[in-house]
Amino acid sequence: MIRPLRHSHLRAWCVLAPFLAVVLVLAASARRDATPVNPGVRWERLP
Amino acid sequence: MSVQYQAITWSRQKKVYDVLLASGAAGFLGLFVAAGAVTHPEATAETLLIRALGTCAFVMLHLILCIGPLCRLDKRFLPLLYNRRHMGVTMFLTAAAHGVFSIIQFHSSGDENPLVSLLSSNTRVNSLSAFPFQQLGLLALLILFLMAATSHDFWLHTLTPPVWKRLHMLVYAAYGLLVAHVAFGALQSAASVWPAVLTGAGLTIVAGLHLAAGIHERRRDSPLPARTHDGFVAACEFDAIPEGRATVAMIGAERVAIFKHEGKPYAISNVCAHQNGPLGEGRTIDGCVTCPWHGYQFRPDTGMSPPPFQDRVPAYRCRVDSGKVWVHPQPVRHDG
Ligand code: FES
């Protein structure tokens, strides 16, 4: 009997789809300025 | 299908699939690093590799998640399903490499244990732009490890298909964690808007396909109007079933595949004993119903696999009357 298992995929996505859309929108709206504080400093090159 | 535990058998098809998979992943990584070196000349090789591995694993996860619903919506995608687990394990290894390199790059230069540093260096859970996204990635990686470690058929048989399937539905949780990991991590510092747009497009495609396939499946599960006779339920028109193929009908609470084989009707469960594949979408080969997912075979009259195999699915009594196939909802017992 796997009908409940089949339907659980749909239920999972009914929750996950709007939730992840909200996460993406929230994250995009909170995006910080990508410009480094001091553009002359390359942290990856620091010793 | 096996009578006993067997290590993986490498068919030619699997080898070709794996070569394509490995070369696709290697090509993606090479292109990503090369393009990154041109567009971000300040980035070190380690940074480019970390980004390439993370992106490659995330793209592979999208592909893996699309295969299931695509197959539910259109049978032409079925060949992609055959070795999906190989892609899953490759995706885990790529994601694990991304995690290991990230830990080395970001957490191994201090005097704290790198894992402790990863778990404790950022606890700003109330900040969206500085959310501890690395912990989300670690949690997703643990889930992917659990799935990769239990991907072999040994675990499928040990845990039973329904439990194994439920366990592997955790991939949805891993996907959710990784979308958040990317959204609160890489997207926060990306100079271009494209990574955010592509992540949104990926989510739309994956979620859209799953919702469409889920609705499609739910419609197919609507119960038949109960027309019964002697306890038999009217399932479908006999003439509508092509020879060697099946029609799937809801009998009671579950799907039954009604095959026409050598001009006669046979009814067996639509649920394959291996991984719950849809037997009714398969066909009869050498007198056996053959599952479209990985080729397990069952005799249409008894639901049992041909010797020496011992797998079985429920079989149902059925008959043709007034052009209709009538199926008894109680499975037949076949001992031995
Ligand atoms: S589900 Fe794998 S052979 Fe049927």
For residue A37, pLDDT beyond 80:
no
Amino acid B5: pLDDT: 41
Residues B121 and B19 placed together within one structural domain of the fold:
yes
Decide which of B186, B220, B254 is a domain's last residue.
B220
Residue B41, in any domain of the structure: yes
The confidence band for B254, taking pLDDT boundaries of 50, 70 and 90, is confident
Pairwise CB contact (< 8 Å): A13 & B184: no
Decide which of B192, B220, B248 is a domain's last residue.
B220
Residues B256 and B302 placed together within one structural domain of the fold:
yes
Number of domains in chain B: 2
Q: Which residues line ligand 1 (CB under 6 A)?
A: B 272, 274-275, 277, 291, 293-296
Residues B211 and B239 placed together within one structural domain of the fold:
no
Pairwise CB contact (< 8 Å): A9 & B210: yes
Amino acid A44: pLDDT: 65
Percent of chain B with pLDDT over 90: 68
Average pLDDT of the residues in A36-47: 65
The 3-class SS string of chain B reads CCCCCCCCCCCHHHHHHHHHHHHHHHHHHHHHHHHHHHHCCCCCHHHHHHHHHHHHHHHHHHHHHHHHHHHHHCHHHHHHHCCHHHHHHHHHHHHHHHHHHHHHHHHCCCCCCHHHHHHHCCCCCCCCCCCCHHHHHHHHHHHHHHHHHCCCHHHHHHHCHHHHHHHHCHHHHHHHHHHHHHHHCHHHHCCCCHHHHHHHHHHHHHHHHHHHHHHHHHHHCCCCCCCEECCEEEEEEHHHCCCCCEEEEEECCEEEEEEEECCEEEEEECECCCCCCEHHHCEEECCEEECCCCCCEECCCCCECCCCCCCECCEEEEEEECCEEEEEEEEECCCC
For residue B116, pLDDT beyond 70:
yes
The confidence band for B3, taking pLDDT boundaries of 50, 70 and 90, is very low
Atom of ligand 1 at shortest range from CA of B272: 4
Average pLDDT of the residues in B303-332: 92
- Out of B200-209, B215-224, B252-261, B279-288, the most confident range is B200-209
Amino acid A39: pLDDT: 67
Amino acid A38: pLDDT: 67
Q: In which domain, by residue range, is B169 found? A: 12-220
Residues B117 and B258 placed together within one structural domain of the fold:
no
Residues B244 and B215 placed together within one structural domain of the fold:
no
Residues B74 and B155 placed together within one structural domain of the fold:
yes
Whole-prediction pTM: 0.85
Residues B189 and B239 placed together within one structural domain of the fold:
no
Amino acid B196: pLDDT: 93
The confidence band for B42, taking pLDDT boundaries of 50, 70 and 90, is confident
Distance B152 CA to ligand 1 centre (A): 13
Mean pLDDT of chain B: 91
For residue B306, pLDDT beyond 70:
yes
Residues B184 and B205 placed together within one structural domain of the fold:
yes
Residue B2, in any domain of the structure: no
Residues B275 and B303 placed together within one structural domain of the fold:
yes
